[in-house]
Amino acid sequence: MQSLVSFFLDKIVFECSFHIFKIKLYLFLIATVLQSSYEDFLEESGFPLTNEPVWFLGKQYIVPAEKTILEEDVLTRFWFTYRKGFTAIGGTGPTTDQGWGCMLRCGQMMVAHSLVCRHLDRDWKWCHKKTTSKHMQMQARYKYQQQIYTKILKLFLDERDSYYSVQQITSMGASEGKNVGEWFGPNTIAHVLKKVCCYDIWSNIVIHVSMDNTVVISDIVEQCKVGFSDRTPENTDSDYNRSSWRPLLLIIPLRLGVSEINIAYYDQLKACLRLKQSAGVLGGRPNHAFWIVGYTENYFFYFDPHTTQQAVKSSQPASSLHETYHLKYPSSHIHIKDLDPSIATGFFCQTEEDFTNLCSNFRENIIKTSISPMFELLQTRPAHFTEYEPNVQEGKSVEDFEQLKYEEDFEIL
């Protein structure tokens, strides 16, 4: 009898041990699959292998749990690259920007992101598939938003009629001493875009470039408010017609070191990408620019314009226009120590409240957190500064733009 009891006890212990082993094995296999899936996602997406949060243009994501939402956010941003086969710049100039137009494309991406935020919203997501909603109002809204999104894209196509085309940026670059085929730096593209945006009456935004590592609040407020009533946006239904504030893209060109970014600025640069107003960073390696859109740990990921694609014409059907202007994941990532110290960080403020909040965040997350902040934030212009000069392009009209298109007299390198 005792031996029989002992037998059953041994059997129960064995079966329990076996089941525990099976449970441990299942848990191990599940963990392995999840980790493999996570590593595959990071490898495929260009994100570095890490369990830390991913920050993308002011929004935080936990991957792989929020992988799909992150993909949608990335997919919504426009990816502008080198193009070939477009209308010759200046009539007889180059028909491609391959090898010299990377910073122009990065500037385009920063402005395009701002225009999507301005006309649609930061949280709006582009859906490349037709909506299946049966609700007529939802379908109408979807169709309208897609039309706005396509209209934004057409502002950047490589045609002389497009406000932010490579042709127009190159044309305006002559005023900054840049010839066709000459590489732009972050500071140059910021000033050129500041001039070009004045012709975009529909968007009616202000691009302010803060120089000398100093953001002067009064200068920005003046530029966003003065002369507002003189402009007549095409979209008469816009809330901005009833506002006294024009949406702002603030660009701050900075040099954060001699040959590489000083470690003292690491956390401050990350803080810029965490702010909800973030429009990314124009930067890269020497003569190799890209649009930095986020980070995780000390790795920054970006959209890389160094892919040459065929130029797209505005006459193409809307369904095919978007085919080569989107990425599912950022192009790649780079360690912060490998970045060139010459950058320009951007911030989009839809309203005056957004700008006030941005200034507050500058004080709390950048100014007060370091004995050597990246830039200063001043309420008014110091006496030793030169007198503030508003954008000389302000008040330009569509007619002015039409005249600009035919005043192309370039020196070709």
Report how far residue 164's alpha carbon sits from residue 182's, in angstroms, rounded to the nearest whole number. 18
Report how far residue 258's alpha carbon sits from residue 252's, in angstroms, rounded to the nearest whole number. 18
Query: Which residue in the list 304, 333, 340, 359 is annotated as catalytic?
Result: 304
Question: Which pLDDT tens digit goes with each residue over 284-331?
Answer: 998 899 999 999 989 999 999 999 999 998 888 777 788 899 988 888
Catalytic, 304? Answer yes
The pLDDT, as a whole number, for residue 387 is 73
The pLDDT, as a whole number, for residue 332 is 85
- As for how many domains the chain has, the answer is 2
Residues 136 and 97 in one domain: yes
Q: Decide if 412 is inside a domain.
A: no
Long-range contacts of 58-67 (CB under 8 A, 24+ apart): 58/122, 58/273, 58/274, 58/275, 58/276, 58/277, 58/278, 59/276, 60/274, 63/38, 64/34, 64/37, 64/38, 67/41
Taking phi over 0 as left and psi of -120 to 50 as alpha, with beta for the rest, 300 belongs to: beta
Which residues, 6+ apart, have CB-to-CB distance to 102 below 8 Å?
Answer: 82, 183, 284, 288, 289, 290, 305, 306
Residues 258 and 319 in one domain: yes
Residues 112 and 240 in one domain: yes
More confident residue, 27 or 75: 75
Q: Decide if 109 is inside a domain.
A: yes
Query: Which residue in the list 73, 97, 102, 333 is annotated as catalytic?
Result: 102
The pLDDT, as a whole number, for residue 288 is 92
Q: Per the structure block, which two tokens stand in for 77?
A: 């941003």
The mean pLDDT value of the chain amounts to: 82
**Among 223, 140, 190, 153, which Cα is nearest to 347's?**
190
Residue 305, number of CB atoms within 10 A of its CB? 26
How far out from the chain centre does Cα 248 lie? Answer: 14
The pLDDT, as a whole number, for residue 251 is 98
Residues 65 and 20 in one domain: no
State pTM to two decimals.
0.83
Residues 25 and 98 in one domain: no
Helix (H) or strand (E) holding 169: helix 166-173
Q: Decide if 413 is inside a domain.
A: no
Range of the domain at 33: 1-45
Give residue 117's pLDDT band: very low, low, confident or very high (50, 70, 90): very high
Which residues, 6+ apart, have CB-to-CB distance to 177 below 8 Å?
Answer: none
Helix (H, G, I), strand (E, B) or coil at 342: strand
Residues 211 and 149 in one domain: yes
Residues 4 and 109 in one domain: no
Residues 296 and 247 in one domain: yes
297 with 72: CB under 8 angstroms? no
Question: Which pLDDT tens digit goes with each residue over 266-275?
Answer: 999 999 999 9
The pLDDT, as a whole number, for residue 402 is 53
Question: Which pLDDT tens digit goes with each residue over 228-247?
Answer: 544 545 554 444 444 689 99
Residues 355 and 224 in one domain: yes
Residues 304 and 397 in one domain: yes
The pLDDT, as a whole number, for residue 5 is 47
Question: Which pLDDT tens digit goes with each residue over 206-227?
Answer: 999 999 999 999 999 999 986 5
Q: Decide if 215 is inside a domain.
A: yes
Residue type, 107: G
Residue type, 386: T
Q: Decide if 411 is inside a domain.
A: no
Over pLDDT 90: what percentage of the chain?
55
The pLDDT, as a whole number, for residue 330 is 84
Q: Is the pLDDT of residue 46 over 70?
A: no
Report how far residue 117's alpha carbon sits from residue 120's, in angstroms, rounded to the nearest whole number. 5
Residue 158 has phi, psi (to 5 degrees) of -80, 65
Q: Decide if 410 is inside a domain.
A: no
Report how far residue 215's alpha carbon sits from residue 252's, in angstroms, rounded to the nearest whole number. 8
Report cis status (omega within 30 of 0) of the bond before 64: yes
Q: Decide if 138 is inside a domain.
A: yes
Question: Which pLDDT tens digit goes with each residue over 126-184?
Answer: 876 655 555 666 678 888 889 999 999 999 999 989 999 999 999 898 888 888 888 89
The pLDDT, as a whole number, for residue 406 is 42
The pLDDT, as a whole number, for residue 238 is 46
Residues 257 and 115 in one domain: yes
The helix/strand count (H/E) of the chain reads as 11, 13
More confident residue, 134 or 188: 188
Query: Which residue in the list 127, 161, 288, 306 is annotated as catalytic?
Result: 306
Residues 307 and 240 in one domain: yes
Q: Decide if 170 is inside a domain.
A: yes
Catalytic, 306? Answer yes
